[in-house]
Amino acid sequence: MLPSRFDGVEQLEDVMSTPSPALVAALRGVAGDIMVLGVGGKMGPTLARLAKRAAPDKRVIGVARFSEPGLQAALQGHGIECIVADLLSREQLTALPEVPNIVFMQAASLALPAANG
């Protein structure tokens, strides 16, 4: 049950990253570890915490540039392994560990070409 109000960001984050029994059961059936590409964005940290809380025995790896001060340390404090990498770099992408489950959360930060007529 949701509280009638949130007393701060940490409480909100805790509620948002609390897995449902259905998610715990679903991730129990997923073989292998989980990597979240673009974990440093708006939804990435919550998703990574949610996955780690739902599947505490799996490795949850977050990959980002980690430009937000303190985010990498906060994620590591929740048991999420962090890898600093630029997802636009082919060399850095190929150096990432191989895991069977990838969640792609990278925001489109490049301008997209205009649609033709």
Q: Is the pLDDT of residue 116 over 60?
A: no
Average pLDDT of the segment spanning 8-15:
87
Compute the distance between CA of residue 78 and CA of residue 101 in angstroms, rounded to an integer. 19
User: According to the model, what pLDDT value does residue 108 have?
Assistant: 59
Average pLDDT of the segment spanning 44-68:
96
User: According to the model, what pLDDT value does residue 62 have?
Assistant: 98
pLDDT in tens, 28-49: 999 999 999 999 988 999 999 9
Among 17, 96, 34, smallest CA distance to 64 is for 96
Pick the range with the lowest mean pLDDT from 5-9, 20-24, 63-67. Answer: 5-9
Compute the distance between CA of residue 52 and CA of residue 57 in angstroms, rounded to an integer. 8
Compute the distance between CA of residue 66 and CA of residue 99 in angstroms, rounded to an integer. 21
User: According to the model, what pLDDT value does residue 106 have?
Assistant: 73
Q: Tell me how many helices (H) and strands (E) the chain has.
A: 5, 4
Mean residue pLDDT of the chain comes to 90
